[in-house]
Amino acid sequence: MAEASRTSEAHRDAVFARWVIFSPARSRRPTDLKSHGPANPSPGPDDGAPKPSCPFCLGRESECAPEIFRVPAPDESPSWRIRVIENLFPALRREAAPPAPEDEEPVGAGECAVRGFGFHDVVIETPHHEVRLWDLEAEGVRDVLLAYARRVQQLAEHPAVKYVQVFKNQGASAGASMAHSHSQMLGTPFVPPSVTSRLNCMKEVFERSGKCSLCAVVSKDILVSETHNFSAFVPFAASYPFEIWIVPRQHSSYFHETDQDKVLDLAGLLKSMLQKLCKQLNDSPFNYMIHSAPFGLSSSCLPYTHWFLQIVPQLSVIGGFEIGSGCHINPVFPEDAAKILREIDGSV
């Protein structure tokens, strides 16, 4: 369809049950959607020296919250490649007593309050301040993903933890308070409402069609790249311009159960997608989230639960319509975004 004839459309997805309005009139050409900040806020080669105010740098480990585990360097110099530590300013606290149903404190009609128990951890992805995740070799990205999986597995063994959200905030406007490349995870004693909504939507699709929402064949129009084990595509109802989902091609409910060979495949594809977004969007801030299944699901739920990784570039400000309605307005049709991203070099 020629760009001049494109009119607004509303798409509803089969995973989040969200409506998204695609309105090309809300912007000029899709290629004009770029971050206007500097391409690299910390330019210059990394000399290996710690930065004066960065506790995540090599040699400043004592300034951080307690370490949970580390991935050592093969040659012991530097002494580590990845560190998983407690968050110094946690949203939930591991030392709090886990809530029990009888502990719920009534606040009002349908409302309750419980103690803020949970786990809030940080994954320091590299000892070097200037190195970004996608600057690492695929094996380095794999090791970061394996560190996620190892920590998620540890948290899954805690009887009070029901869900773990793994996420990365890259850039100040995406919520990162530290420039040094890192990601986080929050283990909660409840299943977050958006997770429940996602599973309910996928259940409805499965009961109606007999198919998992994410196992369906991805249209070539929205496919960006694929490997033997994973597909990367712009979702049919992308809430954000140039949003990408990376999805296992074989049905899988839990991210942390992915075997090491497949994790290397995922790492190469994730690196490629982040490189493509960096080049197309002028190093735009972004978030990514790993959407996995809650712990302890019954076997009857597994056929329609399918984990995936969502990458969201931060290119616009959420306005009143989006906040009030829960519907997003996206100026770039998914097939247009996918075509642009396919044509950008970002080899796996």
The reply to whether 327 sits in an annotated binding site is no
Place of tokens 């991935």: 71
Give every strand in the sheet of 67-71, ordered side by side: 67-71, 82-86, 119-124, 182-188, 163-170, 286-291, 308-313, 244-248, 230-233, 223-226
**Active-site residue, from 120, 128, 182, 256:** 182
Pairing of strands 19-22, 328-330: parallel
* 3-class secondary-structure state, position 151: helix
d(Cα 336, Cα 221) in Å, to the nearest integer?
8
Cis previous bond, 241, omega within 30: no
Closest CA to 16 of 312, 258, 317: 312
182 is catalytic: yes
The reply to whether 228 sits in an annotated binding site is no
* 3-class secondary-structure state, position 225: strand
The reply to whether 180 sits in an annotated binding site is yes
Which amino acid appears at position 278 of this protein? C
Structure tokens at 346: 């970002």
d(Cα 294, Cα 165) in Å, to the nearest integer?
10
The reply to whether 301 sits in an annotated binding site is no
Binding residues for Zn(2+): 54, 57, 129, 180
Which of the residues are catalytic? Answer: 182
